[in-house]
A and B are shown apart, each in its own frame.
Chain A
Amino acid sequence: MAAMLQPSIILLKEGTDTSQGKPQLISNINACIAVVDVVRTTLGPRGMDKLIHDDKGTTISNDGATIMKLLDVVHPGAKVLVDIAKSQDAEVGDGTTTVVVLAGELLREAKPFVEENVHPQLIIRSFRTAADLAVQKIKEIAVSIEGKSIEEKKSLLEKCASTTLSSKLVGGEKEFFAKMVVEAVTDMGEDRGLKMIGVKKVPGGTMRDSFLVNGVAFKKTFSYAGFEQQPKKFDNPSILLLNIELELKSEKENAEIRLSDPSQYQSIVDAEWNIIYDKLDKCVKSGAKVVLSRLAIGDLATQYFADRDIFCAGRVVEEDLQRVARATGGAVQTSVNNLIPDVLGSCERFEEKQVGNERFNIFTGCPTGETATIVLRGGADQFIDEAERSLHDAIMIVRRALKNSTVVAGGGAIDMEISRYLRQHARTIPGKAQLFINAFAKALEVIPRQLCDNAGFDATDVLNKLRQKHALPSGEGALYGVDINTGGITDTYANFVWEPAVVKINAITAAAEAAALVLSVDETIRNPKSESAQGEAAANAMAGRGRGMGGMMGRGRGRGMRRR
């Protein structure tokens, strides 16, 4: 592209899109800022939701990572932001919007410097220093909740969970859900695998009808005739978990039996029946009262069990079966031979219950207590989906807070405090780095500013109040953040707007790294082939635009704008 006027040396395959230099850098920054603009309004308790409609259906979400994923970003520079949102989600589960907004703001602050020909590496180095300082400062001022009694700890964790939930659709019932989440997480043993908390969704009912089962619950599976005659309630049942089919079927796929004597016919029929009867008999003899299988339990077996007052459910989803195994202390069997009592699970109570329009199998009072199931209710599918995502965030936060039990004040308080600290620090530095660290400090203020903007308050006004508070030499204002209810400022720590320190640390490091990554790129080479891999539609759209661009190219004078 750069060689429009003079003959050029062709280095790369024709159609390869290269662009380089400062303009490329600026363009990448612009793209990132554009993406950030999509998610920035979701930040905070007054943040809005996005409705994204795609082939897979409609999603309404407030979760930064979910939105970024669904936006389907193809711009290579902007993709970095998607990745940090995802990594924040995987690492701490919450603060996905924060990290994206922060990264965007860092880039925005860096842009004027780049335009003024500062070498990007200098900016990067300063940003890294600033991020390190920020992390140190957070660690320094974070408050530990270690060493408190269980009760105290629980109430502290609830505060963290409700801060997370306050920005979500379920915010209205945040105390209710925070309690539920903390209960679910703390009830489990040391090894808190996320999988061990099941979330089941049942449309209908209101949020408040959601409930927590200290054990396992799953939807009634497909059943055959005879199922209704089985008992639906047991106290202290033994539970048998299987991974085999209890169905009359051919034993080997490709086997064929040839008979020459019709009188032998009956023996084959009997043989087959005997196999299944034998299996069923063994299940019954094991003493189990509830039989669950990952594979089908046929009509014959259903009726056989019904006759013997045993409850059975076939085609139980793998995850649920694993959870039942963990909760009841049973082991999933792949054969019915040697069913010793050790492999049977047990629980205090099993019941089939009506929840909304569905019937649920519920196991409670499990001996190991390692699992919990949250049954979510709500008015619409999208609503419950969003509630599930929100709870996931909250669960992650609580788990994190349990492991790293330090918290910081939320509502932008911690961000303001770090910002103040960095500014102060910058003054001690001679040279350009002072400017960049100041820029970093300024970028951090975006969190309280965005909180205010989203709530419809005068951001400048609130920010100035906050700056004044934080600048007090006594340090008493360090915990002040945005008061989302009145549009003023308040001591957010005292008002229990808490975030686990690890969320903030991760957000700042990730954002600084993402910014550094974008800033360090000065050339993009895009192979034409990889573009066509995007599919026919994209290729066509590009071709159409390619022509239109021709005219503009003159004006652009090869400023290195990437064509796509």
Chain B
Amino acid sequence: MALAFDEYGRPFIILREQEQKTRAKGLEAQKANIMAAKSVARILRTSLGPKGMDKMLQSGDGDVTISNDGATILEQMEVENQIGKLMVELSRSQDYEIGDGTTGVVVTAGALLEQAEILLERGIHPIRVAEGYEQAARIAVDHLSKISHSFEFSSTNIQPLVQTCMTTLSSKIVNRCKALLAEIAVKAVLAVADLERKDVNLDLIKVEGKVGGKLEDTELVYGIVVDKDMSHPQMPKRIEDAKIAILTCPFEPPKPKTKHKIDIDSTEKFEALREAEKKYFDEMVQKCKDVGATLVICQWGFDDEANHLLMHRGLPAVRWVGGVELELIAIATGGRIVPRFQELTPEKLGRAGIVREKSFGTTKDRMLYIEQCANSRAVTIFIRGASKMMVEETKRSIHDALCVARNLIRDNSIVYGGGSAEIACSIAVEAAADRIPGVEQYAVRAFADALDGVPMALAENSGLQPIDTLTAVKAQQIKEKNPHLGIDCNDVKTNDMKEQNVFETLIGKKQQILLATQVVKMILKIDDVITPSQYI
């Protein structure tokens, strides 16, 4: 990159390794940035909506992911371009915050940039464009609050929640079973939700998947499912009224952490040592028995000797259970995690109505179900599916649905989907534009046009005439003053999303608009890109 030349045309060397850096400046930089962001958005555009298509991504080591989830797709694409990376992060932060609408936010940002490009070509200062967008975003968000509805739900009346989750799931590959999955998601969230504090800790919901069976076999287990089996094949496969000892110490003779050495110089000493070891095992098992445990779950492994002894004493045991699962089991069964055998007391045992080992199909896979727990504040969603990719995608879809349910518990306002909210905002922003003086008016109007991008993409993906459909709906919205009209993607013959029961969360929609505007501003504000050439 040549920064400067002297009178003889020789470049100055001002920066380190100046020759190896490239620099894009001014309008050229902005155009290149917009181009990069737009191409990312274009990839996701076809994934939007119930008729959106999936993307297949192959990672470096040959793993295949098939997904419809914007955040996942972008994450796996490994975008190299820095501006592209911004879009990836945009999608990711929507994922972190809301969990749903990750595709929509990128499509919106892409549409905003597309409109901005036209304005830049007209010679409008990029920051004025960005400021206009910010004004418009504020108008749009206000309008969203106006057209939103809040609904009542309780732990018995979950129908409204289920319907909103269904909207989320309808764009996924699992939409065949969306009603079932939505119900599972809502029930799971309600099981762990603290309705008073409006707080949901999603960590308490475990999503476990197993290849095989069909999607319909997916179930919600009020308890924990662990991908483990009993440590000894002859142990009982079903324990009722289990009292569970949850241990984080191995069934082994204790070892001091300090370096140690035992000098054995006679047969007697060796015998004594062996006896001592035996006694340890014996005591350990006895201790568990004494406190009344009928099942031992251990974070670590057992010695074969211990295993044998446990079997003989009729104490079923599970070994190598991960820390997170152990914690969930403890929460679910109301037990305490015990770090040392000496600490075992009857009060510290967890309780579960039934613990059973379940095997699947013809495979040897077995899983351990811990159900009817003392405290059902930890649940597991157990997903079945025909292939690994299917199970993985279902996991992601369930995650989206869980997030939506959680958001609704936090804030029970909804807007109508199917692009109706975007169209309504577009109309509102368009109307407001005329009252804004200055160059920003153009930007605000461009924002309104960009908002049409989402319903347009929806219509396009559903095989409808995008412009015809959009204009028809828009006209209808204005005529009937009904902000619930959207794109009829599923061909139900009505545009009213209220009737179609297509809901989206208000905070999700707001977040989409605000985040997209924010990132667009960031991109527009860059007028200089300095890159070392090895990165190009």
Interface residues of A (CB under 8 A from B): 27, 30-31, 33-35, 37-38, 41, 45-55, 58, 60, 62, 71-75, 78, 169, 172, 203-209, 224-229, 248-252, 254-263, 265-266, 268-269, 271-273, 299-300, 303-304, 306-307, 354, 356-357, 378-383, 386, 455-456, 485-486, 534, 537-538, 541, 549, 552, 555-556, 561, 564
Contacts and interface: CB of A to CB of B under 8 A. Distances in A.
B260 interface: yes
Contacts of A72: 15-16
Nearest to B4: A34
Nearest to B109: A379
A303 B519 contact: no
A169 B256 CA distance: 57
B94 to A, nearest CB: 7
A549 B9 CA distance: 12
- A-B interface, 8 closest residue pairs, ranked by CB to CB distance from nearest: A34-B4, A204-B96, A48-B527, A357-B96, A380-B89, A204-B97, A204-B93, A206-B514
B475 interface: no
A537 B20 CA distance: 10
A317 to B, nearest CB: 21
Contacts of B254: 269
A305 to B, nearest CB: 11
B355 interface: no
A290 B83 CA distance: 43
A50 B528 contact: yes
Contacts of B262: 258-260, 262, 265
A60 B526 contact: yes
B327 A228 contact: yes
B438 interface: yes
- Which among B33, B272, B340, B522 has the greatest number of chain A C-beta atoms within 10 A? B522
A383 B522 contact: yes
Interface stretch (B205-213, B330-338, B414-422): B330-338
20 contacts: A35-B3, A37-B3, A38-B3, A41-B527, A47-B127, A50-B526, A53-B531, A55-B532, A71-B15, A71-B530, A75-B12, A172-B131, A203-B89, A228-B331, A255-B258, A268-B256, A306-B336, A383-B86, A383-B519, A541-B19
A33 B273 CA distance: 82
Nearest to B199: A354
A74 B15 contact: yes
A486 B248 CA distance: 69
B175 interface: no
B85 interface: yes
Contacts of B339: 299-300, 303-304
Interface string B258-290: 111111110001001100100000000000000
A208 B20 CA distance: 40
Interface of B: 3-4, 6, 8, 10, 12-17, 19-20, 29, 33, 82-83, 85-86, 89-90, 92-97, 125-128, 130-131, 134, 199, 201, 203-204, 248, 254-265, 269, 272-273, 276, 299, 323-324, 326-328, 330-331, 336-340, 348, 438, 511, 514-515, 518-519, 521-522, 525-532, 535
Nearest to A544: B19
A256 B259 contact: yes
Contacts, number: 267
Contact of B248 (A71, A257, A261, A299): A299
B260 A257 contact: yes
A456 B339 CA distance: 69
A272 B257 contact: yes
Contact of B272 (A254, A263, A307): A263
B511 A205 contact: yes
Contacts of B273: 262, 265
Given A172-B134, A250-B259, A556-B8, A206 B526 contact: no
Given A51-B529, A262-B276, A299-B339, A251 B93 contact: no
A182 to B, nearest CB: 22
Given A51-B33, A226-B330, A229-B336, 11 more contacts: A51-B528, A71-B15, A169-B521, A172-B130, A204-B92, A225-B248, A258-B262, A263-B272, A269-B255, A354-B199, A383-B89
A72 B126 CA distance: 28
B258 A259 contact: no
Given A53-B531, A225-B326, A31 B4 contact: yes
Contact of B86 (A54, A226, A380): A380
Contacts of A207: 514, 518
Contacts of B258: 250-252, 255-257, 268, 272
Nearest to B200: A354
A225 B17 contact: no
A256 B260 contact: yes
Nearest to A353: B199
A45 B131 CA distance: 11
A357 B261 contact: no
B351 to A, nearest CB: 15
Contact of B522 (A78, A206, A380, A556): A380
A62 B528 contact: no
A68 to B, nearest CB: 11
Contact of A46 (B125, B204, B348): B125
B125 A456 contact: yes
Given A380-B519, A552-B10, A226 B327 contact: yes
Contacts of A354: 199, 201
A52 B15 CA distance: 13
A306 B337 contact: yes
A413 B255 CA distance: 76
A48 B526 contact: yes
A537 B14 contact: no
Contacts of A71: 15, 530
Contacts of B13: 74-75, 564
A382 B82 CA distance: 10
Nearest to A251: B258
B330 A229 contact: yes
A78 B535 CA distance: 26
B154 to A, nearest CB: 23
B256 A272 contact: yes
Contact of B261 (A33, A249, A259, A561): A259
B8 A75 contact: no
B257 A46 contact: no
Contacts of A250: 256-259
Nearest to A298: B339
- Which among B95, B255, B260 has the greatest number of chain A C-beta atoms within 10 A? B260
Contact of B12 (A31, A52, A204): A31
Contacts of B248: 225-226, 299-300, 303
Contact of A269 (B86, B256, B337, B529): B256
Contact of B14 (A34, A47, A49): A34
Contacts of A272: 256-258
